[in-house]
Amino acid sequence: MKHGKKYVEAVKLIDKTKAYDAKEAIDVVLKTGTAKFDETVELHVKLGVDSRHADQQVRGAIVLPNGTGKQVRVLAICKGDNIQKAQEAGAEYVGAEEFTQKIQSEGWMDFDVLITTPDMMGLVGRLGKVLGPRGLMPNPKAGTVTPDIAKAVKEAKAGKIEYRLDKTNIIHCPIGKVSFGTDKISENFDALMGAIIKAKPAASKGQYIRSCALTTTMGPSVKINPSKINGAV
């Protein structure tokens, strides 16, 4: 794969033989974010677990201290008093059958997070085949199926992210924008890594954090030394 001039220049900023400590890696990765738009900083963590086993799943959600820098569009599927609560909390789209029908028949996906109440899961559950592959299916562990819909909407708007393993046992999450600077990205990094370490399954054996890297949207990856992350080993 041929990379552009900016990518090639960015690679020169990175010592590929080195695994950096977190703060140093953040400093380096921010220097690689030279695109004309405000690039997202992404964290990629490979865990020493096997996601094929139910007792080794790692999944949860956290509100990042400084948010993600992204405008989050929320769809709230609810009824009764919860409609007004979701609207007042800032949800862009609020309703029930009209939205589930729109998703099913039109393939409508103009939202980033779907939040619903437990009593509506019978309706929302029918959308599993559409929402599941896109990572949009609400889940109690992620706090997107909850009786307190106002709180969930506010958290989503404030920068709550869900972390979960993919099939290769890697967690991929945005932790902010290049414009945040080192301190804010560091706070978000520490909060997310702390949550992932806390979520370590009892069935996990050996080294838990196998590898860790940061990238920007368009840039190369910067390795972080797992042994320098508190609680990682």
The reported pLDDT for the residue numbered 168 is: 93
Residue 173 placed within a domain? yes
CATH of the domain at 109: 3.40.50.790
Residue 206 placed within a domain? yes
Residue 133 placed within a domain? yes
Last residue of a domain, one of 123, 157, 191: 157
Output the DSSP codes for 174-203: EEEEGGGHHHHHHHHHHHHHHHHHHT--TT
Average pLDDT on 211-219 reads: 93
Residues 102 and 212 in one domain: no
For 172, the enclosing helix (H) or strand (E) is strand 170-177
Residues 116 and 47 in one domain: no
Q: Put residue 186 in one of left, alpha, beta given phi > 0 → left and psi -120 to 50 → alpha.
A: alpha
Residue 233 placed within a domain? no
The reported pLDDT for the residue numbered 16 is: 82
The pLDDT tens digits for 178-208 are: 999 999 999 999 999 999 999 999 988 889 9
Q: Answer whether residue 1 shows pLDDT above 60.
A: no
The pLDDT tens digits for 31-68 are: 988 889 999 999 999 999 988 898 999 989 999 999 99
Residues 149 and 173 in one domain: no
> Does residue 191 contact residue 68 with C-beta atoms inside 8 Å?
no
Q: Answer whether residue 233 shows pLDDT above 70.
A: no
The mean predicted confidence, pLDDT, of the chain is: 91
Q: What are the φ/ψ torsions at residue 223 (nearest 5 degrees)?
A: -75, 140
What is the number of other CB atoms lying within 10 angstroms of the CB of residue 13? 15
Residue 44 placed within a domain? yes
Query: pLDDT above 70 covers what percent of the chain?
Result: 97
Residues 32 and 135 in one domain: no
pLDDT band for 91, please (50, 70, 90 cuts).
very high
Residues 49 and 90 in one domain: no
Residues 19 and 42 in one domain: yes
Residues 128 and 79 in one domain: yes
Q: What is the pTM (predicted TM-score) of this model? A: 0.83
The reported pLDDT for the residue numbered 13 is: 80
Residues 46 and 84 in one domain: no
Range of the domain at 94: 74-157
Output the DSSP codes for 25-61: HHHHHHHH--SSS-PEEEEEEEESS-TTSGGG--EEE
Residues 169 and 56 in one domain: yes
Last residue of a domain, one of 157, 189, 218: 157
CATH of the domain at 28: 3.30.190.20
The reported pLDDT for the residue numbered 8 is: 74
pLDDT band for 108, please (50, 70, 90 cuts).
very high
The reported pLDDT for the residue numbered 231 is: 56
Residues 129 and 106 in one domain: yes
Last residue of a domain, one of 157, 180, 199: 157
Residues 167 and 57 in one domain: yes
The answer for residues whose C-beta is within 8 angstroms of residue 58's C-beta and 6 or more apart is 47, 49, 51, 163, 164, 165, 171, 196, 199, 200, 201
Q: Answer whether residue 12 shows pLDDT above 90.
A: no
Query: pLDDT above 90 covers what percent of the chain?
Result: 72
Q: Answer whether residue 126 shows pLDDT above 60.
A: yes
pLDDT band for 155, please (50, 70, 90 cuts).
very high
Residue 167 placed within a domain? yes
Residues 145 and 96 in one domain: yes
Residue with more model confidence, 93 or 11: 93
Q: Considering its fold, how many domains does the chain have in total? A: 2
The reported pLDDT for the residue numbered 201 is: 93
Residue 142 placed within a domain? yes
